């Protein structure tokens, strides 16, 4: 079941010099391919669309501020069960609860600054890919 997913390396990952480390982990998974990759500072409108499900939550405003605070890496990854696989590689939202070996478990301590976003379902992936890479063929 080949899929594609939207991955963001958040501003903390970029400012801490972890792009290579994280991209390397994705590249080393057998058969997965990075098919688009771009460094960009995310604007408010993009972030509001992307995080629409969290409007009104106490962490929403600080999350958007953090996500706009510096460049992120946006990428498309394709391969077998890549949606589930990237969520596993990332680890759970809270980096302290995330197992060592996962990206969040190895590098994070703060829930907001948890290094990486990866789409959580096929529906989310299609929705998010349209936001970040509207030019991709569907």
Residue 16 known to bind ligand = no
Buried-state track 86-111, b at ≥16 Cβ within 10 A, e below 16: bbebbbbeebeebeeebbbbbbbeee
Residue 81, classed as helix, strand or coil, is coil
Catalytic residue flag (residue 50): no
Q: Which of these is catalytic: 89, 90, 117, 119?
A: 117
Residue 130 known to bind ligand = no
Q: Nearer to ligand GDP by C-beta: 35 or 109?
A: 109
Place of tokens 């995310």: 42
> Cα(116)–Cα(138) distance, rounded to whole angstroms?
24
Residue 87 known to bind ligand = yes
Quote the least distance from Cβ 72 to ligand GDP, whole Å. Answer: 12
Quote the least distance from Cβ 78 to ligand GDP, whole Å. Answer: 20
- Binding site listing for ATP: 10, 59, 87, 93, 104, 114
């Amino acid at each position: 079941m080949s899929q594609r997913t939207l991955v963001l390396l958040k501003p903390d990952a970029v400012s801490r010099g972890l792009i290579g480390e994280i991209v390397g982990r994705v590249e080393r998974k057998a058969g997965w391919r990075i098919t688009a990759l771009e460094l960009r500072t995310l604007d408010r409108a993009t972030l509001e669309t992307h995080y629409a499900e969290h409007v009104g939550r106490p962490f929403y405003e600080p999350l958007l501020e953090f996500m706009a605070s510096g460049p992120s890496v946006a990428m498309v990854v394709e391969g077998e069960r890549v949606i589930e696989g990237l969520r596993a590689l990332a680890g759970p939202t809270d980096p302290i609860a995330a197992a060592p070996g996962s990206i969040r478990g190895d590098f994070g301590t703060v829930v907001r600054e948890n290094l990486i976003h990866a789409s959580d379902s096929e529906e989310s992936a299609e929705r998010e890919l349209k936001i970040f890479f509207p030019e991709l063929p569907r």
